[in-house]
Amino acid sequence: MKSLFDPRQAQDFVSRYPTIPPELALRVYTSRLIGADPSLVLHGGGNTSVKLRGKNVLGEEQEILYVKGSGIDLATIEPGGFAGLVREPLRKLRKLSTLADEEMENQLQIHKIRSTSPNPSVEVLLHAFLPHRYIDHTHADLILALTNQKEWEDLLKEALGLQVAILPYLTPGLTLAKGVLKEYEENPKVEAVVVAQHGIFTFGEDARAAYERMVDYVGRAKVFLKRKAYGGALGISPAESNPPEKTASSLARFNQTVRGACAFRSPEGRLRRFYAEVRTSNDLGKAASAPAASRLCSSGVLTPDHVIRTKNKWVSFGEIPEDDGKLKQAVQEAVKGFAQEYDRIFAEQSGAKGIRREKLDPYPRVFLVAGAGIVALGSTRRDARIAADIAEHTLRVKLLADEAGEYTPISESHVFDMEYWSLQQKKLGKVSPPSLQGQVAVITGAGGAIGLGIADRLLAAGAGVAVTDIDGASLGKVRAALIKKYGESQVESFLFDVTDYGAAEKAFQDISCRLGGIDILVPNAGIAHVAKVEDLDPRKFDQVIAVNLKGTFNVIKAAIPIFRRQGTGGSIVVVSSKNVFDPGAAFGAYSASKAGAHQISKIAALELAELGVRVNLVNPDAVFGDEEIPSKLWELIGPDRMKSRGLDPQGLKEYYRQRNLLKVQVTPEHVGNAVVFFATETSGATTGATLPVDGGIPAAFPR
Ligand SMILES: [Zn+2]
């Protein structure tokens, strides 16, 4: 393992942040070097610190500990991601034999130098107790492959040499900090401390030394494992999130079924669903099929930090059955068994410790699927990805550890302490999630203004959104606009033609592999053609019918097996048109196709109620969009409409505004809000309904 420390880059960091001390700028630099290597830390794991002298408001000199904020990702950390604390009062806490969670949290808050800085890392006391200026801490894969062993002590000594203190597992917080400090005081020459089944700490008087010791010791572990000819597992190539065609169809069905089996009612009565994230490769598929798979799944987390992301144990699942009934039964049995075991351990541990904790949901986050790989679940797509990444690393480390000896899990008691440690739970955030969090929404014809408006409102309500269209260029623009506003994690785009049933099925399979399934379907793709019946080209008529009517039918039909496998209801919100109730001359193809789509949607409302799937319609009128992302429909028919009314583009917008009762310009967001209304549980008693979004057109009142 090579040091990536580059003195020029280091200097760049010092120049980049001229208002902060150079020592802190260098702390940012080497923290990012560590964060950029997923074999050292994953997603907010690990922590780093630096101690500086500074003056308080009275001009009194004091030592300030800057430690990484809890849950902040080292890969992208900024100076503001470090919490500054007065060191001395924290250092004195070593005199205590115990420290209750609430008091620990209190101490960390009252000794911060800025009330607005993030909560410090849960390992802050260790950073405060040790005297070294720079401290780096990781959960490096290669170190964990040695620490999570029956013969951990001998292996570590042989691999890492004598300048390292090797400690048994100690509960993070005060106990760990005191243990490490004692070890240092007995042997001040140590350059690093390894804590069994947890990770490694390295120290240095400057940023480079602490970082390079980390690289050095992890490198020694690698050399040792190689020398022993272990390390087949090290060669496993990174897995893919896009499964090959032969497994895609079964993984899509698996994801849909698993989401259904793991959805649960929250205490406040809301149905909470998960996103699914797939990791697949030949190697992972083989490992998942091997006889050791069930042991790998039940042997727990590598380091306690991971438990809040993946739960301690995983589900080992055999080949995915071809038959939906068998699949559902197998998944439900596996999930039920997992949940019962989780509840049992919770009761046992809280009983043994004599404490009361609010039990978290008992559902699995990671499935190891024979012949396929890993499927991970999360309440947000980011959570699902974090769980999948951690699971992938965990699997490799366990395979490697098995080569080198006998993988030994952390005790259930220790894992329980970490899972239910209030400071750990804080990382996940307790605020009530947005109304559509956990749900996957699919919008067709999303490459225009209305599609953008709908996607925007669904994302704001917390949904994961798949925007789809046949036109890659306009879809790309919409995707970019959404990512700019909401970030990448909740947005995906897919190209397909709604007139082709097979293409719709394939797209929904891809969406299910990528996000888990479908909960909200918004058939929105539409085209128009201006011509009187007398002049209407029959081929044009066919085209409009194919997109507007058949396209709506195709996507509704293709979604039904997914709703059925999930078994958690769902919502279809069809973007219809004011023209259904109030058609216009020379607009026959559009009005007839929309009327047909309206009718098939109402039939779907009748038929899908038994699945808990509600089907509702919104009737917009005259939605134009803006110059950046215009309405494609209006781009197509606008010039003809303008000609027939003798108006310019602005005049045309004004004409439509003046013709409605409220004299409002109907916007894509108005349509999006109506879709969100129908998609949320708020409207749970409504199906088969039509909501006009037209500013009020008496002739188009639904009746
Ligand atoms: Zn740690």
pLDDT(235) > 80? no
Query: Across residues 303-315, what is the average pLDDT?
Result: 93
DSSP 3-state of 49: strand
**Bridge pairing between strands 373-378 and 271-272:** unpaired
Q: Give the largest CA-CA distance in the chain.
A: 98
Separation of CA 299 and ligand 1 centre (Å)? 19
- Token pair 């606009």 is found at 481
Please, which residues have CB within 8 angstroms of residue 195's CB and are 6 or more apart in sequence?
Answer: 147, 167, 168, 169, 170, 176, 179, 180, 201
Separation of CA 389 and ligand 1 centre (Å)? 17
Residue 588's pLDDT is what? 94
Separation of CA 227 and ligand 1 centre (Å)? 28
For 112-153, the pLDDT digits (tens) are 999 999 999 889 999 999 999 999 999 999 999 999 988 888
Query: Across residues 542-553, what is the average pLDDT?
Result: 98
Residue 547's pLDDT is what? 98
Separation of CA 140 and ligand 1 centre (Å)? 10
Separation of CA 5 and ligand 1 centre (Å)? 23
Residue 602's pLDDT is what? 98
Question: 3-state SS of 304-321?
Answer: HHHHHHHCCCCEEECCCC
Query: Across residues 477-501, what is the average pLDDT?
Result: 97
CB 440 within 8 A of CB 429: no
Q: Cα separation of 279 and 495, whole Å?
A: 22
Residue 491 has, within 13 A of its CA and on its CB side, a CA count of: 24
Query: Across residues 410-422, what is the average pLDDT?
Result: 88
DSSP 3-state of 473: helix
Angle subtended by helix axes 538-545 and 588-608, to nearest 10: 30
Residue 162: pLDDT band by 50, 70, 90 thresholds? confident
pLDDT(229) > 70? no
Nearest to 196 by CA among 160, 232, 223: 160
Residue 590 catalytic? yes
Separation of CA 43 and ligand 1 centre (Å)? 12
Separation of CA 294 and ligand 1 centre (Å)? 27
Q: What are phi and psi of 608, to 5 degrees?
A: -95, -5
**Bridge pairing between strands 613-620 and 690-693:** parallel
Separation of CA 123 and ligand 1 centre (Å)? 7
Separation of CA 569 and ligand 1 centre (Å)? 41
Separation of CA 508 and ligand 1 centre (Å)? 40
Query: Across residues 697-703, what is the average pLDDT?
Result: 92
Separation of CA 35 and ligand 1 centre (Å)? 14
Separation of CA 365 and ligand 1 centre (Å)? 21
For 241-256, the pLDDT digits (tens) are 788 888 899 999 999 9
pLDDT(104) > 80? yes
Q: Cα separation of 630 and 612, whole Å?
A: 35
Separation of CA 408 and ligand 1 centre (Å)? 18
- Confidence (pTM): 0.93
- The active-site residue out of 217, 275, 363, 590 is 590
Residue 31's pLDDT is what? 97
For 188-220, the pLDDT digits (tens) are 999 999 999 999 999 999 999 999 999 999 999
Separation of CA 86 and ligand 1 centre (Å)? 22
CB 338 within 8 A of CB 268: no
Residue 422's pLDDT is what? 73
Residue 231: pLDDT band by 50, 70, 90 thresholds? low
Neighbours of ion ligand 1 (CB under 5 A): 199
Separation of CA 199 and ligand 1 centre (Å)? 6
Separation of CA 605 and ligand 1 centre (Å)? 52
Which of these ranges, 379-388, 407-416, 545-554, has the smallest mean pLDDT? Answer: 407-416
Separation of CA 314 and ligand 1 centre (Å)? 21
Residue 497's pLDDT is what? 98
pLDDT(478) > 90? yes
Q: What are phi and psi of 276, to 5 degrees?
A: -115, 145
Helices (H) and strands (E) in the chain, counts: 26, 20
Separation of CA 464 and ligand 1 centre (Å)? 31
Separation of CA 121 and ligand 1 centre (Å)? 9
Alpha helices in 119-165 (DSSP H): 124-129, 141-147, 152-160
Phi/psi class of residue 292: alpha, beta or left (left: φ > 0; alpha: ψ in -120 to 50)?
alpha
Residue 635's pLDDT is what? 79
For residue 328, the one-letter residue type is K
DSSP state of 294: H
For 466-475, the pLDDT digits (tens) are 999 999 999 9
Separation of CA 529 and ligand 1 centre (Å)? 63
Higher pLDDT, 15 or 55: 15
